[in-house]
């Protein structure tokens, strides 16, 4: 294994992974890979009993080191991948699981380290251990638990460096990863709990130990998307000494972009401004075109083309048929996009973990009452949620309209075909299934009723 350059975020590199299985019983294999701010990969395979060698080859475009989740017959492992570094992985069946073996020494010792790291957190997904702590504990206890787990990870890394000859570059990378992941979760915990509607007492006296201007956030393997957004917002707030940066949305984004000059690290500055552009693209607000150009111009030339490419992947939905879906309703029957026809349809994407989504429930009911007797309906697609929790929320809040559930497979397809819809996003569809507006006002906004009446 070559010593990698740990300086990636925007520079995608092709990475090939070959999985080999020999003399296997029947196999149910699931591969899953998540890169923050980028599309999730998930693929499923099923094989019967065979003595032949089964080889599965997948090619990923990686922007940073990641963990590939490999689930075999409901037992899972996580494989450390490096951009541009191809992997040959051979699985042998033991009494308890399929054990991976690697074609080079460095990969073997690094993945052995991650096995021990998973043991510390009782074999849970390493990437999500901190977010689970934040979701399930009062804030003060969450701080203590994050510190405790971080200390265990640090101790493990020091022992592994001595005992297993971990590569020096990996020790440096992982030590930063542990340090920054801890800091990011401590910083993001109050906002994360608030966003997900967790009733907690926030410890306003907590002060970060790191100067965020020195933080390389892309080094952290463990940080989910919410913490990128939350921590970067918090970063700007800290830099501006918690002053309000404006009331008008255009003014806020303009001032935030101007304030990014305070960020000394070029990569972090580029990420922040790319996120501002991402918000403009996904917002229902019509921002001035010159604002987008201004923000794009502040991104360094080395990363600007990649940002433009990422943004241009979105397809134009307005005036076209709403992309196909085939989802389960409350009765357990499957419904496709034909349900969007013959009536004006307000299509909503939401999640049981999305606090702002709940705020619109009563307004949806009022809207349906206001338009009673008119060919109008609301179709709600629940994503990123457990099916049982979805049913509980629909029943508890007596949700109006046609309620549909999207599983992990359909979540991925919908995100791709509907341009990564954010939770609590609404689209307006005409009687022929054509998209009128892909980012229309929310039911609590009187402008939505005016928009609907124009198309009835």
Contact 178, 185 (CB under 8 A): no
pLDDT at 8: 39
> Residue 194 has what pLDDT?
57
Q: How much is the pLDDT for 244?
A: 41
Q: Which helix (H) or strand (E) holds 159?
A: helix 139-163
- pLDDT for the residue numbered 224: 46
Residue 282: predicted pLDDT? 63
The reported pLDDT for the residue numbered 36 is 55
* Residue 198 pLDDT: 55
Look at residue 286 in the predicted model and tell me its pLDDT: 73
- What are the tokens at 278? 């991402």
Q: How far apart are CA 273 and CA 292, in angstroms?
A: 10
User: What was the pLDDT predicted at 240?
Assistant: 40
Stated pTM of the model: 0.57
From CA 390, how far away is CA 423, in angstroms rounded?
14
Per-residue model confidence (pLDDT) at position 330? 93
CB of 321 within 8 A of CB of 394?
no
DSSP designation for 196 = T
* Domains assigned to the chain: 13-144 (2.60.40), 175-312 (no CATH), 326-454 (3.40.30.10)
Q: Supply the pLDDT for residue 169.
A: 84
Low pLDDT (below 50) residues in the chain: 2, 4-10, 37, 195, 200, 202-204, 207-208, 210, 212, 217-230, 233-246
Q: Give the up-direction half-sphere exposure of residue 308: CA atoms within 13 A in the CB hemisphere.
A: 11
Q: What is the dihedral of CA 17, 18, 24, 30, to 10 degrees?
A: 30
Q: What are the C-alpha distances in Å from 452 to residues 211, 244, 344, 377, 446? A: 49, 35, 8, 11, 10
SS3 assignment, position 100: strand
- The 10s digit of each residue's pLDDT in 232-282 is 544 444 444 333 444 577 777 787 788 777 666 676 677 778 777 876 776
Query: Residue 6: what pLDDT?
Result: 45
Q: What is the pLDDT of residue 429?
A: 94
Task: Convert the pLDDT of each residue in 334-392 to its tens digit.
Answer: 999 999 988 999 999 998 877 678 888 999 999 999 887 678 999 999 998 888 889 99
| Separation CA 347–CA 440 (nearest Å) | 10
């Amino acid at each position: 294994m070559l010593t990698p350059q740990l300086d990636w975020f925007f520079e995608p590199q092709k990475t090939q992974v070959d999985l080999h299985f020999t003399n296997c019983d029947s196999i149910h294999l699931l591969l899953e890979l998540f890169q923050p701010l980028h599309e999730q990969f998930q693929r499923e395979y099923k094989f019967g009993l065979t003595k032949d060698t089964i080889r599965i080859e997948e090619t990923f475009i990686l922007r940073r080191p990641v963990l590939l989740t490999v689930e075999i017959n409901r037992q899972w492992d996580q494989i450390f991948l490096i951009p541009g570094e191809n992997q040959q992985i051979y699985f042998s069946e033991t009494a308890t699981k399929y054990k991976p073996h690697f074609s080079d020494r460095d990969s073997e010792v690094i993945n052995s380290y991650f096995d021990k790291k998973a043991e510390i957190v009782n074999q849970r997904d390493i990437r999500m251990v901190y977010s689970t702590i934040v979701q399930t504990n009062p804030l003060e206890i969450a701080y203590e638990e994050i510190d405790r787990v971080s200390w265990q990870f640090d101790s493990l890394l020091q022992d592994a460096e001595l005992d297993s000859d971990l590569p020096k570059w990996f020790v440096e990378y992982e030590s930063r990863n542990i340090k920054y992941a801890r800091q990011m979760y401590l910083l993001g915990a109050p906002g994360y709990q608030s966003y997900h509607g967790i009733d907690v007492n926030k410890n306003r006296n907590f002060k970060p130990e790191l100067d965020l201007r020195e933080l390389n956030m892309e080094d952290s393997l463990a940080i989910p998307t919410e913490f990128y957004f939350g921590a970067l917002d918090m970063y700007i707030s800290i830099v501006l000494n918690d002053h309000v940066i404006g009331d008008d949305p255009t003014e806020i984004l303009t001032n935030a972009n101007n304030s990014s000059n305070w960020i000394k690290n070029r990569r972090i500055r580029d990420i922040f401004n790319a996120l501002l552009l991402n918000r403009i693209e996904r917002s229902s607000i019509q921002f001035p075109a010159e604002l987008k150009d201004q923000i794009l111009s502040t991104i360094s030339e080395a990363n600007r083309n990649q940002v433009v490419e990422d943004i241009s992947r979105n397809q134009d939905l307005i005036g076209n048929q709403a992309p196909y879906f085939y989802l389960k309703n409350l009765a357990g029957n499957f419904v496709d996009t034909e349900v969007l026809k013959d009536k004006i349809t307000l299509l909503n994407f939401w999640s049981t973990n999305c606090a702002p989504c709940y705020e619109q429930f009563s307004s949806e009911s009022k809207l349906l009452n206001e338009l009673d007797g008119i060919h109008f309906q609301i179709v709600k697609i629940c994503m990123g949620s457990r099916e049982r929790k979805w049913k509980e929320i629909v029943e508890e809040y007596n949700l109006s309209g046609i309620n549909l559930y999207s599983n992990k497979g359909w979540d991925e397809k919908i995100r791709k075909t509907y341009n990564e819809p954010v939770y609590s996003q609404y689209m307006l569809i005409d009687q022929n299934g054509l998209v009128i507006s892909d980012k229309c006002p929310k039911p609590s906004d009187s402008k939505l009723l005016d928009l609907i009446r124009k198309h009835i």
